Amino acid sequence: MKNFLLRLLTGAGLLLIFGLVFVCLPLSYFSLLIFLVGIEILILEWPSFAHENSLYWVFGLIYILMPLALLIALNESGYRAILRLLLLVVPACDIGGYLLGKTFGKHKLCPKVSPGKTWEGVAGSYLAVLAILFGFKYWFASNASPSLILIFGFMITFLAVLGDLFESWLKRCAGIKDSGKLLPGHGGFLDRIDSLVFTTILFYVLRDLISSHLG
């Protein structure tokens, strides 16, 4: 219970900070914030994962910086509605998975990589993603069909869970529990944005298609 409250408070604080910067300040400030997160991960967190092999560092640069660069590209290119949806749906996916997984989780998803992940948690993630997507549809009078939302929600959930599992695998290979200690209850920033890595690529690739269905 104590760890849950700590995670909740830290998560709420992060959402508040990033939300205020995104909504209240000029575009460049949000891009700068994303850039600083990337620098923090590379300097303070990634060395815990990295081996002496230089190729591992090249992989780290791509793995960490590419999705963050795409976030900045979406921000600076005027795809703010897409970025807003992304920054709502992925945290909702994490929260839904955490709550249902902790409450009802019995069937392990991938115990050798992430013992805490369950199929019930995945179901919670999917339901949370659908809640955000359908909320977006009716709030902004989107022309997206329910079947399209169900498919898109599945893609988001799949990639978010895959990103989470992938980082868990990296940590297991490196023999560490968390990427860092900066965020109480969460670990490091990479622990917090792992679900964004692959979903950001999806949103960037489909940015025009998503834009056509937002309004």
Residue 132's nearest CA partner among 84, 165, 78, 100 is 84
User: What is the distance between the alpha carbons of residues 188 and 8, in angstroms, rounded to a whole number?
Assistant: 15
How far is it between the farthest Cα atoms of the chain?
A: 52
Residue 90's nearest CA partner among 191, 160, 21 is 160
For the ranges 9-23, 108-122, 132-146, the one whose mean pLDDT is highest = 108-122
Amino acid 180: pLDDT: 84
What are the pLDDT digits (tens) for 152-182?
999 999 999 999 999 999 888 888 888 888 8
Q: Could you tell me the pTM of the whole model? A: 0.91
Amino acid 52: pLDDT: 66
Buried b (16+ CB within 10 A) or exposed e, 84-122: bbbbbbbbbbbbbbbbbbeeebeeebeeebbeebbebbb
User: In this model, does residue 3 exceed pLDDT 70?
Assistant: no
What are the pLDDT digits (tens) for 8-59?
788 778 888 888 898 889 999 999 999 999 999 988 898 888 766 677 778 8
DSSP bridge pairs for 108: 118
Q: Return the percent helix, strand and coil in the chain, to nearest 5.
A: 75, 5, 20
Residue 121's nearest CA partner among 168, 86, 83 is 168
Strands (E), the chain: 108-110, 114-118
Amino acid 59: pLDDT: 84
